[in-house]
Chain A
Protein backbone atom coordinates (compact mmCIF):
# COMPACT_ATOMS: atom_id res chain seq x y z
CA UNK A 1 0.00 0.00 0.00
CA UNK A 2 1.43 3.37 -1.00
CA UNK A 3 2.05 6.22 1.43
CA UNK A 4 -0.39 8.36 -0.57
CA UNK A 5 -3.19 5.91 0.28
CA UNK A 6 -2.34 6.24 3.96
CA UNK A 7 -2.19 10.02 3.87
CA UNK A 8 -4.08 11.32 6.87
CA UNK A 9 -3.61 8.07 8.80
CA UNK A 10 0.16 7.74 8.80
CA UNK A 11 0.57 9.84 11.94
CA UNK A 12 -1.79 7.55 13.87
CA UNK A 13 -0.06 4.43 12.57
CA UNK A 14 3.40 5.70 13.52
CA UNK A 15 2.19 6.80 16.96
CA UNK A 16 0.54 3.40 17.48
CA UNK A 17 3.79 1.54 16.78
CA UNK A 18 5.38 3.45 19.67
CA UNK A 19 2.50 2.86 22.08
CA UNK A 20 4.15 -0.14 23.73
CA UNK A 21 7.57 1.42 24.14
CA UNK A 22 10.40 3.37 22.55
CA UNK A 23 11.86 2.30 19.22
CA UNK A 24 14.24 3.54 16.54
CA UNK A 25 13.20 4.35 12.99
CA UNK A 26 14.02 0.96 11.54
CA UNK A 27 12.00 -0.79 14.26
CA UNK A 28 9.03 1.53 13.63
CA UNK A 29 9.01 0.66 9.92
CA UNK A 30 9.37 -3.07 10.69
CA UNK A 31 6.56 -2.90 13.24
CA UNK A 32 4.28 -1.22 10.70
CA UNK A 33 5.07 -3.96 8.21
CA UNK A 34 4.56 -6.78 10.73
CA UNK A 35 1.35 -5.51 12.32
CA UNK A 36 -0.20 -4.87 8.91
CA UNK A 37 0.96 -8.29 7.67
CA UNK A 38 2.98 -6.64 4.93
CA UNK A 39 0.26 -4.25 3.73
CA UNK A 40 2.06 -1.15 5.01
CA UNK A 41 5.47 -1.67 3.46
CA UNK A 42 6.45 1.98 3.44
CA UNK A 43 9.56 3.48 1.94
CA UNK A 44 12.02 4.62 4.58
CA UNK A 45 12.18 8.04 2.98
CA UNK A 46 8.51 8.49 3.91
CA UNK A 47 8.60 7.46 7.57
CA UNK A 48 11.67 9.34 8.86
CA UNK A 49 10.35 12.80 7.86
CA UNK A 50 7.06 11.95 9.61
CA UNK A 51 8.94 10.93 12.78
CA UNK A 52 10.79 14.27 12.71
CA UNK A 53 7.55 16.22 12.25
CA UNK A 54 5.78 14.37 15.06
CA UNK A 55 8.73 15.18 17.29
CA UNK A 56 8.64 18.84 16.23
CA UNK A 57 4.94 18.89 17.12
CA UNK A 58 5.73 17.52 20.59
CA UNK A 59 3.98 14.17 20.05
CA UNK A 60 7.27 12.26 20.20
CA UNK A 61 10.56 12.80 21.94
CA UNK A 62 13.85 11.29 20.85
CA UNK A 63 17.36 10.71 22.14
CA UNK A 64 20.52 8.98 20.99
CA UNK A 65 21.23 5.56 22.44
CA UNK A 66 24.14 3.23 21.82
CA UNK A 67 23.59 -0.46 21.16
CA UNK A 68 26.37 -2.82 20.08
CA UNK A 69 28.61 0.19 19.47
CA UNK A 70 26.09 1.85 17.15
CA UNK A 71 24.38 5.15 17.80
CA UNK A 72 20.67 5.14 17.19
CA UNK A 73 17.96 7.72 17.54
CA UNK A 74 15.23 6.24 19.71
CA UNK A 75 11.73 7.71 19.63
CA UNK A 76 9.15 7.55 22.40
CA UNK A 77 5.58 8.79 22.81
CA UNK A 78 5.16 11.89 24.92
CA UNK A 79 2.09 12.46 27.09
CA UNK A 80 0.77 14.69 24.32
CA UNK A 81 1.51 11.93 21.84
CA UNK A 82 -0.59 9.45 23.83
CA UNK A 83 -3.47 11.91 23.89
CA UNK A 84 -3.00 12.54 20.15
CA UNK A 85 -3.08 8.80 19.46
CA UNK A 86 -6.31 8.40 21.44
CA UNK A 87 -7.90 11.28 19.48
CA UNK A 88 -6.80 9.87 16.13
CA UNK A 89 -8.01 6.39 17.06
CA UNK A 90 -11.43 7.80 17.90
CA UNK A 91 -11.55 9.69 14.58
CA UNK A 92 -10.56 6.54 12.70
CA UNK A 93 -13.21 4.44 14.43
CA UNK A 94 -15.94 6.95 13.55
CA UNK A 95 -14.69 7.15 9.96
CA UNK A 96 -14.40 3.36 9.57
CA UNK A 97 -17.85 2.86 11.09
CA UNK A 98 -19.36 5.40 8.68
CA UNK A 99 -17.66 3.86 5.64
CA UNK A 100 -18.75 0.39 6.74
CA UNK A 101 -22.31 1.61 7.13
CA UNK A 102 -22.31 3.03 3.59
CA UNK A 103 -20.61 0.05 1.96
CA UNK A 104 -22.65 -2.62 3.76
Chain B
Protein backbone atom coordinates (compact mmCIF):
# COMPACT_ATOMS: atom_id res chain seq x y z
CA UNK B 1 0.00 0.00 0.00
CA UNK B 2 2.94 2.35 0.58
CA UNK B 3 3.99 1.76 -3.01
CA UNK B 4 0.41 2.43 -4.17
CA UNK B 5 0.34 5.71 -2.22
CA UNK B 6 3.59 6.79 -3.85
CA UNK B 7 2.37 5.80 -7.31
CA UNK B 8 -0.97 7.57 -6.81
CA UNK B 9 0.91 10.70 -5.74
CA UNK B 10 3.10 10.38 -8.85
CA UNK B 11 0.03 10.57 -11.12
CA UNK B 12 -1.49 13.46 -9.15
CA UNK B 13 -3.89 11.57 -6.86
CA UNK B 14 -3.41 12.75 -3.30
CA UNK B 15 -5.31 13.49 -0.13
CA UNK B 16 -8.78 12.10 0.49
CA UNK B 17 -9.11 10.42 -2.88
CA UNK B 18 -5.79 8.58 -2.48
CA UNK B 19 -6.79 7.51 1.04
CA UNK B 20 -10.15 6.28 -0.24
CA UNK B 21 -8.53 4.20 -3.00
CA UNK B 22 -6.11 2.66 -0.51
CA UNK B 23 -8.96 1.78 1.89
CA UNK B 24 -11.08 0.27 -0.88
CA UNK B 25 -8.27 -1.88 -2.22
CA UNK B 26 -7.17 -2.91 1.29
CA UNK B 27 -10.76 -3.98 2.06
CA UNK B 28 -10.87 -5.87 -1.21
CA UNK B 29 -7.63 -7.68 -0.36
CA UNK B 30 -9.13 -8.70 3.00
CA UNK B 31 -12.27 -10.06 1.25
CA UNK B 32 -10.20 -11.97 -1.27
CA UNK B 33 -6.63 -12.73 -0.20
CA UNK B 34 -5.96 -14.12 -3.70
CA UNK B 35 -7.06 -10.88 -5.38
CA UNK B 36 -5.03 -9.84 -8.41
CA UNK B 37 -4.61 -6.19 -7.58
CA UNK B 38 -1.67 -5.94 -9.93
CA UNK B 39 1.22 -3.54 -10.14
CA UNK B 40 0.74 -0.34 -8.10
CA UNK B 41 2.11 1.78 -10.95
CA UNK B 42 -0.41 0.32 -13.43
CA UNK B 43 -3.33 0.73 -10.99
CA UNK B 44 -2.40 4.37 -10.33
CA UNK B 45 -2.15 5.11 -14.04
CA UNK B 46 -5.55 3.49 -14.66
CA UNK B 47 -7.13 5.70 -12.03
CA UNK B 48 -5.53 8.78 -13.58
CA UNK B 49 -6.65 7.74 -17.08
CA UNK B 50 -10.24 7.11 -15.98
CA UNK B 51 -10.55 10.27 -13.88
CA UNK B 52 -8.86 12.93 -16.00
CA UNK B 53 -11.75 13.45 -18.43
CA UNK B 54 -14.66 13.69 -15.92
CA UNK B 55 -12.56 15.87 -13.61
CA UNK B 56 -11.68 18.21 -16.47
CA UNK B 57 -15.30 18.32 -17.60
CA UNK B 58 -16.48 19.15 -14.07
CA UNK B 59 -13.92 21.90 -13.48
CA UNK B 60 -14.79 23.43 -16.85
CA UNK B 61 -18.45 23.68 -15.82
CA UNK B 62 -17.43 25.11 -12.44
CA UNK B 63 -15.07 27.53 -14.20
CA UNK B 64 -17.93 28.80 -16.30
CA UNK B 65 -20.00 29.39 -13.18
CA UNK B 66 -17.07 31.27 -11.57
CA UNK B 67 -16.65 33.44 -14.68
CA UNK B 68 -20.40 34.11 -14.78
CA UNK B 69 -20.26 35.15 -11.10
CA UNK B 70 -17.37 37.48 -11.94
CA UNK B 71 -19.37 39.06 -14.76
CA UNK B 72 -22.49 39.34 -12.57
CA UNK B 73 -20.45 41.00 -9.79
CA UNK B 74 -19.18 43.61 -12.24
CA UNK B 75 -22.69 44.33 -13.44
CA UNK B 76 -23.91 44.69 -9.84
CA UNK B 77 -21.06 47.07 -8.94
CA UNK B 78 -21.53 49.18 -12.11
CA UNK B 79 -25.28 49.35 -11.62
CA UNK B 80 -24.63 50.39 -8.03
CA UNK B 81 -22.56 53.37 -9.21
CA UNK B 82 -25.27 54.48 -11.61
CA UNK B 83 -27.90 54.20 -8.86
CA UNK B 84 -25.74 56.19 -6.42
CA UNK B 85 -24.58 59.49 -7.84
CA UNK B 86 -23.56 58.28 -11.25
CA UNK B 87 -19.97 57.92 -12.39
CA UNK B 88 -18.00 60.54 -10.43
CA UNK B 89 -15.80 63.07 -12.21
CA UNK B 90 -12.33 62.36 -10.83
CA UNK B 91 -9.04 63.76 -12.02
CA UNK B 92 -5.31 63.18 -11.78
CA UNK B 93 -3.93 59.83 -10.81
CA UNK B 94 -7.32 58.47 -9.75
CA UNK B 95 -8.72 59.13 -13.21
CA UNK B 96 -5.75 57.32 -14.79
CA UNK B 97 -6.12 54.33 -12.44
CA UNK B 98 -9.88 54.11 -13.04
CA UNK B 99 -9.41 54.30 -16.82
CA UNK B 100 -6.64 51.69 -16.84
CA UNK B 101 -8.78 49.47 -14.60
CA UNK B 102 -11.69 49.79 -17.03
CA UNK B 103 -9.50 49.07 -20.04
CA UNK B 104 -7.97 46.04 -18.33
CA UNK B 105 -11.42 44.71 -17.50
CA UNK B 106 -12.66 45.20 -21.07
CA UNK B 107 -9.69 43.31 -22.54
CA UNK B 108 -9.41 40.55 -19.95
CA UNK B 109 -13.16 39.88 -19.97
CA UNK B 110 -13.00 39.13 -23.69
CA UNK B 111 -10.00 36.82 -23.24
CA UNK B 112 -11.84 35.04 -20.40
CA UNK B 113 -14.97 34.63 -22.51
CA UNK B 114 -13.17 33.34 -25.61
CA UNK B 115 -10.81 31.00 -23.69
CA UNK B 116 -13.70 29.73 -21.55
CA UNK B 117 -15.85 29.04 -24.61
CA UNK B 118 -12.94 27.25 -26.29
CA UNK B 119 -12.46 25.08 -23.19
CA UNK B 120 -16.17 24.26 -23.14
CA UNK B 121 -16.11 23.53 -26.89
CA UNK B 122 -13.36 20.95 -26.38
CA UNK B 123 -15.01 19.42 -23.31
CA UNK B 124 -18.45 19.10 -24.93
CA UNK B 125 -16.95 17.40 -27.98
CA UNK B 126 -15.85 14.46 -25.82
CA UNK B 127 -12.16 15.02 -25.16
CA UNK B 128 -9.74 12.14 -25.53
CA UNK B 129 -6.12 11.89 -24.49
CA UNK B 130 -4.28 15.12 -25.19
CA UNK B 131 -7.51 17.07 -25.79
CA UNK B 132 -7.85 17.17 -22.02
CA UNK B 133 -4.57 19.09 -21.76
CA UNK B 134 -5.77 21.63 -24.31
CA UNK B 135 -9.11 22.06 -22.49
CA UNK B 136 -7.24 22.55 -19.21
CA UNK B 137 -4.91 25.14 -20.75
CA UNK B 138 -7.86 27.06 -22.17
CA UNK B 139 -9.67 27.02 -18.85
CA UNK B 140 -6.48 28.07 -17.06
CA UNK B 141 -6.20 31.11 -19.35
CA UNK B 142 -9.90 31.89 -18.84
CA UNK B 143 -9.55 31.77 -15.05
CA UNK B 144 -6.36 33.87 -15.14
CA UNK B 145 -8.10 36.43 -17.34
CA UNK B 146 -11.03 36.37 -14.88
CA UNK B 147 -8.57 37.17 -12.09
CA UNK B 148 -7.20 40.09 -14.15
CA UNK B 149 -10.78 41.37 -14.55
CA UNK B 150 -11.18 41.30 -10.77
CA UNK B 151 -7.83 43.11 -10.34
CA UNK B 152 -8.96 45.82 -12.79
CA UNK B 153 -12.24 46.10 -10.93
CA UNK B 154 -10.37 46.37 -7.60
CA UNK B 155 -8.18 49.18 -8.99
CA UNK B 156 -11.24 51.03 -10.27
CA UNK B 157 -13.06 50.54 -6.96
CA UNK B 158 -10.09 51.89 -4.99
CA UNK B 159 -9.86 54.93 -7.29
CA UNK B 160 -13.57 55.79 -7.19
CA UNK B 161 -14.53 54.76 -3.65
CA UNK B 162 -13.84 58.14 -1.92
CA UNK B 163 -16.24 59.85 -4.36
CA UNK B 164 -19.12 57.44 -3.87
CA UNK B 165 -21.52 56.91 -0.95
CA UNK B 166 -20.63 54.31 1.68
CA UNK B 167 -23.71 52.29 0.67
CA UNK B 168 -21.96 51.58 -2.64
CA UNK B 169 -18.95 50.12 -0.79
CA UNK B 170 -21.35 47.60 0.79
CA UNK B 171 -22.10 46.38 -2.75
CA UNK B 172 -18.63 46.80 -4.25
CA UNK B 173 -16.75 44.80 -1.60
CA UNK B 174 -18.78 41.56 -1.95
CA UNK B 175 -18.61 42.12 -5.71
CA UNK B 176 -14.83 41.76 -5.36
CA UNK B 177 -14.73 38.97 -2.78
CA UNK B 178 -17.24 36.56 -4.36
CA UNK B 179 -15.42 36.20 -7.70
CA UNK B 180 -12.04 35.91 -5.96
CA UNK B 181 -13.33 32.99 -3.89
CA UNK B 182 -15.02 31.30 -6.87
CA UNK B 183 -12.01 31.72 -9.18
CA UNK B 184 -9.59 30.51 -6.49
CA UNK B 185 -11.67 27.38 -5.83
CA UNK B 186 -11.73 26.61 -9.57
CA UNK B 187 -7.99 27.20 -9.89
CA UNK B 188 -7.36 24.65 -7.13
CA UNK B 189 -9.73 22.16 -8.80
CA UNK B 190 -8.05 22.75 -12.16
CA UNK B 191 -4.60 22.16 -10.65
CA UNK B 192 -5.82 18.78 -9.33
CA UNK B 193 -7.29 17.83 -12.73
CA UNK B 194 -4.13 18.97 -14.51
CA UNK B 195 -1.99 16.76 -12.27
CA UNK B 196 -3.95 13.72 -13.54
CA UNK B 197 -2.99 14.58 -17.13
CA UNK B 198 0.57 15.78 -16.53
CA UNK B 199 2.12 12.89 -18.46
CA UNK B 200 -0.13 13.30 -21.50
CA UNK B 201 1.20 15.40 -24.40
CA UNK B 202 -1.26 18.06 -25.61
CA UNK B 203 -3.24 17.08 -28.71
CA UNK B 204 -2.31 18.74 -31.97
CA UNK B 205 -5.55 19.33 -33.84
CA UNK B 206 -5.90 21.98 -36.47
CA UNK B 207 -8.41 24.66 -35.52
CA UNK B 208 -10.27 25.88 -38.62
CA UNK B 209 -8.84 29.21 -39.78
CA UNK B 210 -12.21 30.17 -41.18
CA UNK B 211 -13.66 30.04 -37.66
CA UNK B 212 -10.81 32.16 -36.25
CA UNK B 213 -11.32 34.79 -38.97
CA UNK B 214 -15.11 34.72 -38.52
CA UNK B 215 -14.80 35.12 -34.73
CA UNK B 216 -12.28 37.95 -35.01
CA UNK B 217 -14.24 39.67 -37.77
CA UNK B 218 -17.46 39.31 -35.81
CA UNK B 219 -15.90 40.78 -32.66
CA UNK B 220 -14.43 43.75 -34.56
CA UNK B 221 -17.71 44.39 -36.38
CA UNK B 222 -19.70 44.15 -33.16
CA UNK B 223 -17.35 46.55 -31.37
CA UNK B 224 -17.37 49.03 -34.27
CA UNK B 225 -21.12 49.11 -34.83
CA UNK B 226 -22.03 48.77 -31.12
CA UNK B 227 -19.70 51.62 -30.09
CA UNK B 228 -20.83 53.81 -32.98
CA UNK B 229 -24.46 53.47 -31.88
CA UNK B 230 -23.74 53.70 -28.15
CA UNK B 231 -21.53 56.80 -28.50
CA UNK B 232 -23.42 58.18 -31.53
CA UNK B 233 -20.12 58.60 -33.33
CA UNK B 234 -18.72 56.54 -36.19
CA UNK B 235 -15.26 57.93 -35.38
CA UNK B 236 -15.49 56.42 -31.91
CA UNK B 237 -16.86 53.18 -33.35
CA UNK B 238 -14.02 52.83 -35.87
CA UNK B 239 -11.39 53.72 -33.23
CA UNK B 240 -12.70 51.08 -30.84
CA UNK B 241 -13.08 48.59 -33.69
CA UNK B 242 -9.43 49.14 -34.66
CA UNK B 243 -8.44 48.67 -31.03
CA UNK B 244 -10.44 45.42 -30.93
CA UNK B 245 -8.68 44.23 -34.09
CA UNK B 246 -5.23 44.92 -32.60
CA UNK B 247 -6.23 43.27 -29.30
CA UNK B 248 -7.66 40.19 -31.04
CA UNK B 249 -4.61 39.83 -33.27
CA UNK B 250 -2.24 40.35 -30.34
CA UNK B 251 -4.00 37.78 -28.17
CA UNK B 252 -4.11 35.29 -31.04
CA UNK B 253 -0.38 35.76 -31.66
CA UNK B 254 0.48 35.49 -27.98
CA UNK B 255 -1.87 32.68 -26.91
CA UNK B 256 -2.89 30.88 -30.14
CA UNK B 257 -0.27 28.17 -29.93
CA UNK B 258 -0.70 27.59 -26.18
CA UNK B 259 -4.47 27.30 -26.55
CA UNK B 260 -4.20 24.83 -29.40
CA UNK B 261 -5.54 27.19 -32.08
CA UNK B 262 -2.47 27.11 -34.34
CA UNK B 263 0.72 25.08 -34.70
Task: Give the B-binding residues of A (Cβ under 8 A).
Answer: 24-26, 29, 43-46, 48-50, 52-53, 56-57, 70-73
Contacts and interface: CB of A to CB of B under 8 A. Distances in A.
B50 A50 contact: yes
Contacts of A44: 25, 28, 35-38
Interface of B: 20-21, 23-25, 27-28, 30-32, 35-39, 42-43, 46-47, 49-51, 53-55, 58
Classify the secondary structure of A's interface with B. Answer: helix
Given A43-B38, A44-B37, 5 more contacts: A25-B27, A45-B36, A45-B43, A48-B47, A57-B54
A56 B38 contact: no
A49 B42 contact: no
Best-surrounded residue of A43, A44, A50, A70 (most CB of chain B within 10 A): A44
A48 B42 CA distance: 12
Contact of B27 (A45, A46, A49, A72): A72
27 contacts: A24-B27, A25-B24, A25-B28, A26-B31, A43-B36, A43-B37, A43-B38, A44-B28, A44-B35, A44-B36, A44-B37, A44-B38, A45-B37, A45-B39, A45-B43, A45-B46, A46-B46, A48-B28, A48-B47, A49-B43, A49-B50, A53-B51, A53-B54, A56-B51, A70-B30, A73-B23, A73-B24
A44 B26 CA distance: 11
B55 A56 contact: yes
A71 B21 CA distance: 12
